[in-house]
Amino acid sequence: MIKNKMNNVPNTFDIIVIGSGSGLDVASAAAERGLKVAIIEKDKMGGTCLNRGCIPSKLLIHSADIIETIKKAYVFGIDVKGFSVDFNKIMKRVNGITDSDSDSINNALKESENPKLFAGECRFVGDKRIAIRTRNDEKDQIITAEKILVAVGSQPRIPKIMGLLESNYITSDEALRLKKQPRKLILIGGGYIACELAHFFGSLGTEIHIIQRNNVLIPSEDEEISQKFTEIFSKKYNVYLGYTAESISNNNGSNESNDTKRSFKVVAKNSSGKRLEIDSDQILLSVGRVPNTSKLNLDETGVKVNESGFINVDEYLETNVKGIFALGDVVGRYQFKHSANLEAQYAFNNILHTDNKNPVNYAAMPHAIFTSPQISGVGFTEQELRKKGIDYVKSTYPYIHTGMGQAIEDKEGFVKFLVDPKNRSILGCHIIGTDSSILIHEVLVAMRTGNGTIDSITNTIHIHPALSEVVARTASSIQDRELFGS
């Protein structure tokens, strides 16, 4: 176990953790082992997920899901006379939950001597030396440790668009705390964050316009999933594919964010030069994320980053500087909270047990998109397999051809398996439809802790007529076609 020879010196610690998201797990576990730990956080406690990411967004999206259920009630013989949306109440509920959780973490740490909380912005000023300007200090405090974990996360990327800075644009950070529901919303970007927010605001009645430079929405998904999702979303909202935003202008001369009559015009063009002009009272940027490394002065301690600013780490999450580790969004591998939580377990072991380090096992790393319809996936996409020249067989099966699929009237959803024809291992699984984020878990267990073959699915008894039958039938249809080699 680590024990710093100078751990009795007030500003010397065994471990310093920068960031209170998944890094907090490492800090708490190390403190429980008797190590002297410092945790640095410049913002609200709990990191991006709790305050500006997966938790508040999914709380908001649940309201949108309820609205969609109400709108579809007539299909099931239920006549809903009408409903109204209380935008402020929705926002108040969500932010009340997240703020309460964040404050609870903050209050617990303020009363704790170990780990010791430093609430302020920090930067490296030397070899493993960190300067912190806390809210209560007039000058920097300098702390140091032999072991340091950087878990500072990421933030929305801001592209260079003419007139953008004068447009009072918002990102996902601000969208989750808006005081007023936009009448018309232009989303620049067509990835999963943009589509989740389009689902939320669109379901509440906001007129949605999505400007996407790619020819499909969520292009990183399996091609059949992206195509089906784009088809569905294009029927609900105004989707402009193949366009890039070039300029934003103010239509009414007012730049005040609280101006209820403000209006902006976005000009976009496609590769053919076709021009698109859209007016809106709110612009939301969602064109990717960048690591929060620019203000850390990592070069002062010798830590290397790549051309995009992500910290370079090895298979053990250690940087090029011995004793300095990093995890989560800032390393740029998988930008999911569940990935950061996984990495935290390995980081804890590898920081404490330098002679018995374990490489991170990212096998069967899943993801889900909480749009309507939901999307989930794990493993390779079909286009990735083709590009790599990996042999595969595939099968798709629609929700509607199962008993529960008929019961819930999901006519668009389907499950897709990609399987190795020789050893029957599952190469990938992709689902679009109701409760996709739940259905994928059967496949995750098979791929990560089972034998990894399609037989793990087909040999499992599935409850009839539960929705999970669609997963079983997709798997069985591969075997039924006898496409496997001997």
Using one digit for the tens of pLDDT, what is the confidence trace for 146-180? 999 999 999 999 999 999 998 889 999 999 999 99
Cβ atoms of residues 47 and 19 within 8 Å: yes
Check residue 1 and give its pLDDT: 56
Q: How confident is the model at residue 338 (pLDDT cuts 50, 70, 90)?
A: very high
Q: How do 426-432 and 238-241 pair as beta strands?
A: unpaired
Is there a single domain that holds both residue 408 and residue 295?
no
Residue 281 falls inside a structural domain = yes
Element (H, E) at 481: none
3 state DSSP class of 106 = helix
Q: Which amino acid is at 124?
A: F
Domain range for residue 181?
Answer: 164-287
Is the bond leading into 366 cis (omega within 30 degrees of zero)?
no
Give the CATH number for residue 34: 3.50.50.60
Give the CATH number for residue 411: 3.30.390.30
Longest dimension (CA), the chain: 74
334: left (phi over 0), alpha (psi -120 to 50) or beta: beta
Query: Could you count the other beta carbons within 10 Å of the beta carbon of residue 97?
Result: 14
- Give tens-digit pLDDT for 243-267: 999 999 987 654 444 445 678 999 9
Cβ atoms of residues 419 and 426 within 8 Å: yes
80 alpha-carbon distance from chain centroid: 34
The number of domains in the chain is: 3
Phi, psi angle pair for 220, to nearest 5°: -80, -10
Check residue 392 and give its pLDDT: 97
Q: Which amino acid is at 240?
A: Y
Is there a single domain that holds both residue 169 and residue 272?
yes
Is there a single domain that holds both residue 456 and residue 393?
yes
- Give tens-digit pLDDT for 279-305: 999 999 999 999 999 999 999 999 999
d(CA 381, CA 473): 20
Cβ atoms of residues 203 and 372 within 8 Å: yes
Q: How far apart are the first and last CA of the chain?
A: 51
Is there a single domain that holds both residue 98 and residue 246?
no
Is there a single domain that holds both residue 454 and residue 387?
yes
Examine the fold and report which residue of 352, 379, 400 is the final residue of a domain before the chain moves on: 352
Q: Which amino acid is at 37?
A: V
Is there a single domain that holds both residue 24 and residue 146?
yes
**Which residues lie closer than 8 Å to 309 by C-beta, 6 or more apart?**
290, 291, 293, 294
Residue given tokens 């609280």 in the structure block? 258
